[in-house]
Structure 1
Amino acid sequence: MKIGELLKSEFSISFEFFPPKSPEGEQELFETIKELEALKPTFVSVTYGAGGSTRDRTRRIVYRIHTETKLTVMAHLTCIAHSKEELLEILQDYKNIGIENILALRGDMPKGDFQAPKGACKYAVELVKFIRENFDNFFSVGVASYPEKHPESPNMEWEIRFFKEKVLAGADFSITQMFFDNSYYYRFVERCHKEGINIPIIPGIMPITNFSQIKKFASMCGATIPQSLVNILEPYAEDPEETTKRGVEFAIKQCEDLIANGVPGLHFYTLNKSRATLLIYQAIKHLIPPKVLSRLF
């Protein structure tokens, strides 16, 4: 199923996974997937490592989800380190095995003295155009968005401008970078609407289960951790159980507010764990709007 079409008729719940490095990690991941599959999410996605470092592992996990579960799966694809020939090969392979959804990303710049392959897609907008030019509408194409702007963007005007370019190139929907203050999301969506950007913008939710880890992630992607949240979590930084409890409580309130304000869905960054996401879902499931189609009869 194409995610762009599914978003027209239902509130989306989705989960993101990353490809494990070991057989043991893969087994644990599929135990997580089995638990979360019971929630009947709209889709799940699998990340792609910087510089294409997880190309084979991402493909393997995507294929296993596609063939071993009933889940709609989206493959992340970064372009900065691939030639167009490699991108064409990857995309054709996904088409051949029946994958209909791609999250088109530039990807993190590889460290060191990196030179992109000659003729490579250097930005996500170029990858979106490449997919549309070579596969027309076979794939539903998603892109990333940044309510607090991408770390490399000088300001929000710049951010909105380049986000709009991705939409005009053929993006069907967007998933945001994680954020912990909903006001950033609301202001971002309002600015997008003023610029005529009307694709679904799904908020990305990161349940906090490890405070030091989240601080590291937030600093890397430019996400603000409100001082009020720091005050809640800091006293329990060395207590995993209490951190998870407080982090889940915060995420529940965050999701409740987002749903009340009419978001098109919620995308959970699971870190390949199910417990926190399950707890949040159980607390908010009664608030999830029914499918649009069910309200027509």
Structure 2
Amino acid sequence: MMFPVRIEIIPSEGIVEQVRAKVSAATPLSVTCLPHHGIERTMRTAVELSDAGYQVIPHLAARSIRSRAELTDIIRGCDAAGIREVFVIGGDRKQPAGTYDSALPVLEDIAQYTGGMMRVGVAGYPEGHPLVSPLDLLDGLLAKQHLASHVVTQMCFSAGKIQDYAALLRREGVHLPLWAGVAGSVPRTKLVALATQIGVGSSLKFLSRKGPLARKLLSGDRYSPDTLVAGLKTTPGAVAGIHLYSFNSLDAVPNDAAASSPSALQTALIRGAARDN
């Protein structure tokens, strides 16, 4: 059993050229929205990649959207670029830039503007959230699920925790497909260089809280999610696919594998089969 894979990228300088050189156009791409980048950079990158033939899912951080008018413009821009799916989160910005302070009202407005035609992913937290109680997280998903098409988990390093989370959602009445958020095969040097660009709080601090497996990623060894993904296969139906956090480290995607088949691409991504440039 091979899971479908989508790759999350960060809209840093030069990422469009890097993706076009190293990732098959058959691979869906998710484009993050970081507080200091803003939604403009996310959308610009998403539109460029969509124009290049990729299936792209831009992240829309509610607290970074300045107004309902801006959201309308974003949705119009998605429509014009052929983008049919977005991922909506509350966002890490401390003070909302405008009207929205959480994901739910953004979901409601997107559904209204598009007549329910836009697919929308929402976030799940197998290991909890530092600022939100588990009950509130669950209530939030229950409130969102009639407006959403799937859940993508925050990065997790344990197949068991993801499987337990999938079972919890089903028991509590959340029946959306679940995509498992997994760190890709990333060398330490790539991660540290990226952390310098995006801010330590966005990557290294997050990873360092995740226990010994994550700390291996920071100590010199190349982290591989191979064991985690193999573990997820032991519970068929628990997850719908793999959402791969690439940290923009795309060297583990050989052009021949990326171009040949989804199965070859997944093997290359997960095992880190290519050279490190």
TM-score band by shorter chain is 0.7 to 0.9
Deviates more, 1:203-212 or 1:181-190: 203-212
> Aligned runs of 1:192-271 on 2, under 5 Å?
192-207=169-184, 208-210=186-188, 220-221=205-206, 224-227=209-212, 230=215, 237=219, 239=220, 243-244=221-222, 247-248=223-224, 251-262=225-236, 263-271=239-247
> Do the aligned partners of residues 265 and 277 (structure 1) sit closer, same or farther apart at CA in structure 2, a change above 3 Å counting?
farther
Q: 3-state SS of the aligned residue for 1:275?
A: coil
The correspondence for 2:31, drawn from 46, 54, 61, is 46
The yes-or-no answer on 1:86 pairing with 2:60 is no
- CA deviation digits over 1:113-167, x for unaligned, max 9? x3542xx12111111111111211221111111111122112x222211122121
- Counterpart contact for 1:47–1:76, Cα < 8 Å: yes
> Do the aligned partners of residues 226 and 131 (structure 1) sit closer, same or farther apart at CA in structure 2, a change above 3 Å counting?
same
The yes-or-no answer on 1:191 pairing with 2:168 is yes
* TM-score in terms of structure 1 length: 0.73
The correspondence for 1:273, drawn from 246, 249, 260, is 249
- CA deviation digits over 1:248-297, x for unaligned, max 9? 2xx11111111332221111111112134669x759649x9xxxxxxxxx
For 1:92 and 1:283, locate their aligned partners in 2 and report how far apart those are by CA, in whole Å.
32
For 1:184 and 1:277, locate their aligned partners in 2 and report how far apart those are by CA, in whole Å.
27
Q: Name the % identity.
A: 21
Q: Which residue of 2 aligns with 1:101?
A: 85
Counterpart of 2:57 in structure 1: which amino acid?
M
The correspondence for 2:152, drawn from 175, 198, 205, is 175
> Aligned runs of 1:123-162 on 2, under 5 Å?
123-154=102-133, 156-162=134-140
- Counterpart contact for 1:148–1:223, Cα < 8 Å: no
Question: Offset of 1:219 from its aligned partner?
Answer: 7.1
Q: 3-state SS of the aligned residue for 1:50?
A: coil
C-alpha RMSD over aligned residues = 3.1
The yes-or-no answer on 1:36 pairing with 2:15 is no
Question: Offset of 1:87 from its aligned partner?
Answer: 1.0
Q: Which residue of 1 aligns with 2:59?
A: 76
For 1:37 and 1:30, locate their aligned partners in 2 and report how far apart those are by CA, in whole Å.
12
* TM-score in terms of structure 2 length: 0.78
For 1:228 and 1:68, locate their aligned partners in 2 and report how far apart those are by CA, in whole Å.
36
Q: Which residue of 2 aligns with 1:5?
A: none
Question: Offset of 1:209 from its aligned partner?
Answer: 2.4
- Counterpart contact for 1:19–1:54, Cα < 8 Å: no
Q: 3-state SS of the aligned residue for 1:142?
A: strand
For 1:257 and 1:136, locate their aligned partners in 2 and report how far apart those are by CA, in whole Å.
39
Aligned residues: 251
- Counterpart contact for 1:47–1:58, Cα < 8 Å: yes
Q: 3-state SS of the aligned residue for 1:37?
A: coil
Counterpart of 1:44 in structure 2: which amino acid?
L
Larger radius of gyration: 1
**Structure 1 gap ranges (5+):** 1-9, 289-297
- Counterpart contact for 1:151–1:221, Cα < 8 Å: no
Q: 3-state SS of the aligned residue for 2:157?
A: coil
Counterpart of 2:46 in structure 1: which amino acid?
V
**Structure 2 gap ranges (5+):** 258-262, 271-277
For 1:134 and 1:97, locate their aligned partners in 2 and report how far apart those are by CA, in whole Å.
16
